[in-house]
Amino acid sequence: MEIFISLFQQILFGAVIIIFGVLLTDRINFIKTNIQMGKPLDRNDRKSERLKAMLLFAFGQKKMFDRPLVGLLHFVIYAGFLIINIEILEIILDGLLGTHRLFAPFLGGLYPTLINFFELLALGVVLTCVVFLIRRNSHLIPRFWSREMKGFPVLDGNLILIFEILLMFFLFTMNATDSILQTRGAESKYVSEHYPAVGSFLVSQIFIPLYRDWDTTSLFYLERIAWWVHILGIMGFGIYVTYSKHLHIALSFPNTYFSNLEPKGKLENMPVVTAEVKSMLGIAEATPAAVENSGNIGRFGAKDVEDLTWKNLMEAYTCTECGRCTSVCPANITGKLLSPRKIMMDTRDRMEEKGNNLRFHGKDYQDDKSLYGDYITKEEIMACTTCNACTEACPVNINPLDIIIQVRQYIAMEESGTPAQWNSMFANIENNSAPWAFSPSDRFNWAEELKSKEV
């Protein structure tokens, strides 16, 4: 009976691996296609600086440690979960080959040491998840309960934490029942051959008293159920995160690598405007790629996601929804509608909607919706002070301000929708080369007045 179950498991596991691979590949391609909706942007320079940024901010989580306790807890759950899943290699090979603890004979006494280390990390993950669940749902931190966090975003954060706790529980159950079965070899030839004597482990041994009195057959089925739930849970987690804010687990690395390395206060000239001005001045220059490949050559600024750059769209998928950007935004703090986190979430939601439209209705389909107007309001955009506090606060180097500025450029240059005071300033700059309403020839009159007073 056990041999039949083992053979059936091999076939079933192979099918599960194929299904998982197809679903994950399809989702990755969908995300990649959505990001490629954005306009071109060259971020292939200064490779050593980019690598350093990735190591510091994505791998080393430098900005997370601005708040040391939270940074440490986050590192425990992040590093712990990644390292624990090294065991996936053994589990996958066991599932495909019909073996059990394949690496144990090769690693000898080192094998129990590794499993003990993984279990300690797993315990750290469980404790940290419990702390984060309490912290997230205690209403003590306002940024977790902003208006954009209603509904799925709150559920998403809680689901992942609960999911990880359950995964660790089934890992402990699998190891605990395995430890008991190691001592039941006399009752079953299959058990004696299939469960090598590697001993009990540091954390899972706590669970042994719960299952010690179970008969061997029941223990075998429980161990198999825990094994299946654990590996299926990890695969399910791998697919779910591509729909979740936890996609930053993967995208934080390329996102930080392709960070903007220029000073945060530096604003780039609009390629469309630059090309037009140089054309008017008779300066021959090749048309910039951003202009040449844009689907809306005549559009100034950004109205919809395809008007943004691919980096803006990658950042939308990378957003962790932690709300650090919103918590330091002076506009938000003073009661304005602007929330940099919402800007990123809205961009991602619109990109998903646009991607699904292209997938199911074709590239010519128009849903008569756009990022600006249907997702992001003018009131939000105009509230920004362009102080860069949001960009500085983001732990994975996301720049909400870049999207805000591009949408604001659309409002100013396409809609002429800026406030009257701004329009006066724009006119003064155009006519007088300064924000003030006086002639450039009168600019130093104040100095002459000072000289006359000195005399």
Same domain, 245 and 127: yes
Q: Which amino acid is at 404?
A: I
Task: Give yes or no: residues 276 and 216 share one domain.
Answer: no
Domain final residue, candidates 256, 284, 319: 256
Q: Residue 296: what pLDDT?
A: 47
Query: Domain with 413 in it: what CATH number?
Result: 1.10.1060
- Give domain status of residue 198, yes or no: yes
Indicate whether 242 belongs to any domain.
yes
Give yes or no for a contact between 163 and 233, defined as CB atoms under 8 angstroms apart: yes
Q: Block means of pLDDT (10 residues each) for the chain, length 455 residues?
A: 71 93 96 94 92 92 87 85 80 88 88 92 93 90 88 90 93 94 83 85 93 91 93 92 92 94 85 77 62 56 94 96 94 94 96 94 88 95 94 94 95 87 85 81 76 67
Backbone φ and ψ of 376, nearest 5° = -110, 130
The two three-digit tokens of residue 233, written as one number: 């849970």
Give yes or no: residues 208 and 274 share one domain: no
Residue 344 and residue 437: Cα distance in Å, rounded? Answer: 38
Separation CA 341–CA 331 (nearest Å): 13
Closest by CA position to 286, among listed 299, 275, 298, 300 = 275
Encoded tokens for 332: 């938000």
In terms of domains, do 31 and 171 share one? yes
The answer as to whether 44 is a domain residue is no
Query: Quick one: pLDDT at residue 317?
Result: 97
Q: Can you give the pTM of this predicted structure?
A: 0.86
- Considering the domain architecture, whether residues 338 and 237 belong to the same structural domain is answered as no
Report CA-CA distances (Å) from 178 to 1, 6, 125, 171, 220: 19, 16, 22, 11, 8
The type of residue at 175 is N
CA dist 455 and 452 (Å) reads 5
As a whole number of angstroms, the distance between CA 346 and CA 150 comes to 13
Do both 72 and 197 map to the same domain? Answer: yes
| Residues 102 and 7 both lie in one domain | yes
Q: What Cα–Cα distance (Å) separates residue 439 from each residue in 322, 344, 426, 443, 445?
A: 48, 42, 15, 7, 11
Q: Bridge partners of 376?
A: 372
246 and 344 in a common domain: no
Cα–Cα distance for residue pair 74/186, rounded to 1 Å: 45
Among the candidates 256, 283, 316, a domain finishes at: 256
Residue 53 inside a domain? The answer is no
At 450 the pLDDT is 77
Same domain, 355 and 313: yes
Helical pair 2-35 and 310-318, crossing angle rounded to 10 deg: 140
Q: How many domains does the chain have?
A: 3
Is residue 194 a part of any domain in this protein? yes
Asked if residue 342 and residue 249 are part of one domain, the reply reads no
Burial of 225 per CB tally in 10 Å (0-12, 13-18, 19+)? middle
Domain containing 161 equals 2-35+67-256
Residue in 133, 134, 150 with CA at minimum distance from that of residue 339: 150
Sign of CA dihedral 204, 206, 208, 211: negative
Q: 201 with 232, same domain?
A: yes
Same domain, 79 and 220: yes
3-state secondary structure the chain: CHHHHHHHHHHHHHHHHHHHHHHHHHHHHHHHHHHCCCECCCCCCCHHHHHHHHHHHHHCCCHHHHCHHHHHHHHHHHHHHHHHCCHHHHHHHHHHHCCCCCCHHHHCCHHHHHHHHHHHHHHHHHHHHHHHHHHHHCCCCHHHHCHHHCCHHHHHHHHHHHHHHHHHHHHHHHHHHHHHHCCCHHHCHHHHHHCCCCCCCCCHHHHHHHHCCCCHHHHHHHHHHHHHHHHHHHHHHHHHHHHCHHHHHHHHHHHHHCCCCCCCCCCCCCHHHHHHHHHHCCCCCCCCHHHHCCCCCCCCCCCCHHHCEHHHHHHHHHCCCCCHHHHCCHHHHCCCCCCHHHHHHHHHHHHHHHHHHHHHHCCCCCCCCCHHHHCECHHHHHCCCCCCHHHHHCCCCCCHHHHHHHHHHHHHHCCCCCCHHHHHHHHHHHHHCCCCCCCHHHCCHHHHHHHHHHC
CA angle 313, 269, 296 (to 5 degrees): 55
The answer to whether residue 40 sits within a structural domain is: no
Could you give the angle at which helices 216-240 and 152-181 cross, rounded to 10 degrees? 150
444, part of any domain:
yes
Query: Is residue 41 domain-resident?
Result: no
* Euclidean distance between CA atoms 21 and 167, whole angstroms: 20
